[in-house]
Amino acid sequence: MAHVTRRLVAVTAALAISVTGGAVATPAFADPRETVKAATATGYGGAVSTVDPEASAAAIEVLRKGGNAADAAVAAAATLGVTEPYSAGIGGGGYFVFYDAETGDVSTIDGRETAPDAMPKDAFIDKATGQPYRFTPELVTSGVSVGVPGTPATWERALDRWGSMRLGDALKPAIKVATRGFVVDKTFRQQTLDNKLRFAAFTSTSSLFLPGGDAPAVGSVFKNHDLAETYRLLARKGTDGFYYGPLAAEIAATVQAPPKTARTKLPVPAGHLTTADLAAYSALDQEPTKVDYRGLEVYGMAPSSSGGTTTGEALNILDTFDLSGMSTAGALHHYLEASALAFADRGKYVGDPAFVDVPAAALTDPLFGKERACRIEPLEAAKKPVAPGDVAAYDGVCPASVAAPADEKDTENISTTNLTVADRWGNVVNYTLTIEQTGGSGIVVPGRGFLLNNELTDFSTVYNEADPNRIEPGKRPRSSMAPTIILKDGEPFLALGSPGGSTIITTVLQTILNRVDLGMGIADAVAAPRASQRNTASVTAEPAFIDAYGQQLKGYGHTLTPSGDAFTSAAEIGAATAIEFLPDGRMIAAAEPERRGGGSAMVLRPSP
């Protein structure tokens, strides 16, 4: 286990570092930067797991100074807005799940972005052709894909409900990192290069992330003084400084008239967001979903996210089988089949509950799960896609066969980030936040240092009255974010979550399977190779998963396709973070050892 405060201290290395943004490099001993990542840390007094050592260090700093898990989570999230700006930031949204040690309650905040009031049903249709915009790069690189950001409101609401700090104090670590910079790694450079065409389309984005026409070099120090100043504005004025006043006007103007470069050939459709939309935004307090699995209480995020209902339904299905008594391939077969069934119901029933009557209680009812489990053959994969269940009439008895629906098109992107935090008092946070696409809409608000989301692409592209995820003004698009907290005998046992678009659900589900049913330790459960079945003809799987289980699962009738997407060079599924709570009071923080360049786990007081 790495020591919590391991830092880059070589003066010669620091002096050799180039600096993005025209600042001057300083010796590392005068201005230390967190660069060393440890994927696992065990100890007492508090723990954190994120994808980035600067963010984890920010949370640990807050915990050391007496802040609680909510304070530390906001500090880590704000720092991720600096160091992971292509996955998270104040231009996006997310879902915050909190376990209150004093009351024993689990509560959530829905900070999902919303569609502007002027959003038309045909917003994603190219008026010149009458056809939908191509998803990439046209639709994702646009003002029309930008939803009203929810992240600042989420931070303020979390601190108001559970925190001990003001927002300004929680932002201090992030302001420091943005001001003195962070060391660029291979992942940051590669993500910049993956988005070079999109970033080059905007004057504000190219000047920040493509200085001199190229991505920042590995080992250089990247500073974002504009973002530091934006955070200082929030520190002074709270979220009123974001949702009202000059910044709100600048956000709206940027969406309605994106700052295109003269040379770009991308169409960049303009958006509809206004200052009135920003002023009307609110993060929503919400009850979590809850299912019981193997004697554990599993709490997740209710709609507008599909994470809690879909993960919960799949667990209810799997709870009817003795997975630990099966071979690993047999257990994985059941996991893939349960996931397909739950995704069929997700597509049929789940949307924003303010606009759609979502049968969340039925979807997470163990009796409904038992009935859906009837569809799983122990030795043979069902032909995909499978049909949704009937939430209006179920009794746990196996129903007659029904016709299968058409494949559900998945356009939810793999980016996003997740963080997990616990404090000395036993409070726990799992928080998933995003700007959707890796790089969001590609549009930086000029002079403000942050990217705007392209979250509205999570709506179905073509409007259909029968579709629960159809475009509607003021609506939250369906998400797959699945921040999860699991209790055992009323006390925290495990908290986890992941990025990954719709594979978030399967990543969380498979990690629970690995830990609870297959007997892996939490570090191995997070690191294990992954596969994702989302009710499609083939299973998306990491190459290592195919190598380990491909032939065995082929015998069940599964077709495995290597993972990878049109947006990045990676073939990874998810990038999970987790904390497990041991009976002796120790905490095990676990992050990815390799995915996205590896994550960062830290504890306040390390122990064996």
What DSSP letter does each residue of 342-389 carry, written as one string?
HHHHHHHH-S-TTTS---HHHHT-HHHHHHHHTT-BTTBPPPSSPPP-
Q: Which of 162-171, 223-232, 398-407 has the lowest mean pLDDT?
A: 398-407
SS3 letters for 267-330? CCCCCCCCHHHHHHCCCEEECCEEEEECCEEEEECCCCECHHHHHHHHHHHHCCCCHHHCCHHH
What is the DSSP code (8-state) at residue 53?
H
The three-state (H, E, C) secondary structure of 111-178, written as one string: ECCECCCCCCCCCCECCCCCCECCHHHHHCCCCCCCCECCHHHHHHHHHHHHCCCCHHHHCHHHHHHH
pLDDT at 24 over 90: no
Least confident of 13-27, 285-299, 477-491, 589-603: 13-27
CA distance 107 to 102: 13
CB 209 within 8 A of CB 451: no
Residue 403 reports pLDDT greater than 70? no
Q: Rounded to the nearest 5 degrees, what angle is found at the Cα of 434, between the Cα atoms of 420 and 195? A: 125
Q: Identify the bridge partners of residue 581 per DSSP, sorted by sequence position.
A: 587
Q: Residue 40, SS3?
A: strand
Q: What is the dihedral of CA 411, 412, 415, 421, to 10 degrees?
A: -170
Marked catalytic residue, from 416, 484, 536, 568: 416
Contact call for residues 193 and 210 (beta carbons, < 8 A): no
pLDDT tier for residue 21 given thresholds of 50, 70 and 90: very low
Reported as a single tens digit per residue, the pLDDT across 278-331 is 999 999 999 999 999 999 999 999 999 999 999 999 999 999 999 999 999 999
pLDDT of residue 399: 78
As a residue count, the chain comes to: 608
- Measuring CA to CA, which residue among 566, 311, 541, 257 is closest to residue 437? 566
Residue corresponding to tokens 């990247």: 222
C-alpha angle with apex 147: 235 to 568, nearest 5 degrees?
A: 95
Reported pTM: 0.93
User: 290 near 104, Cβ under 8 Å?
Assistant: no
Cα angle 112-290-431, degrees, rounded to a multiple of 5: 35
On the question of a cis peptide bond just before residue 137, with omega within 30 degrees of 0, the verdict is: yes
Give, in degrees to the nearest 5, the angle at Cα 94 between 89 and 98. 115
Identify the DSSP state of 595.
G
Question: How high is the pLDDT of residue 16?
Answer: 33
Whether the pLDDT of residue 109 is over 60: the answer is yes
The predicted pLDDT at position 437 comes to 87
Contact in structure between 11 and 29 (CB atoms under 8 Å): yes
Instruction: Evaluate if residue 245 carries a pLDDT over 90.
Output: yes
Confidence band of 565 (pLDDT split at 50, 70, 90): low
- Look at residue 564 and tell me whether its pLDDT is greater than 80: no
Among residues 151, 155, 165, 174, which one has the least CA distance to residue 74? 155
H/E stretch holding 205? helix 203-209
Comparison of pLDDT for 16 and 342, the residue scoring more: 342
Q: Which long-range contacts (CB under 8 A, 24 or more apart) does 469-472 make?
A: 469/350, 469/351, 470/121, 470/351, 471/115, 471/119, 471/120, 471/121, 471/123, 471/124, 472/115, 472/119, 472/121, 472/352, 472/355
Which stretch of 31-35, 363-367, 458-462 has the lowest confidence by average pLDDT? 31-35
Is the pLDDT reported for residue 205 higher than 90?
yes
pLDDT at 496 over 90: yes
Mean pLDDT (the chain) is 91
Report the run of H or E that residue 106 belongs to, with start and end.
strand 105-111
Angle at 159 between CA 157 and CA 163, to 5 degrees: 150
Write the pLDDT tens digit of every residue in 48-103: 999 999 999 999 999 999 999 999 999 999 999 999 999 999 999 999 999 999 99
Distance of CA 178 to the CA centre of its chain: 22
* The pLDDT value given to residue 133: 87
**Per residue in 127-145, pLDDT tens?**
888 888 888 788 999 999 9
Is residue 320 annotated as part of the catalytic site, yes or no? no
Q: Is 477 helix (H, G, I), strand (E, B) or coil?
A: coil
- The pLDDT score that the predictor gives to residue 9 is 29
Report the b/e string of 468-477 with b at 16+ CB within 10 A: bbbbbbbbbb
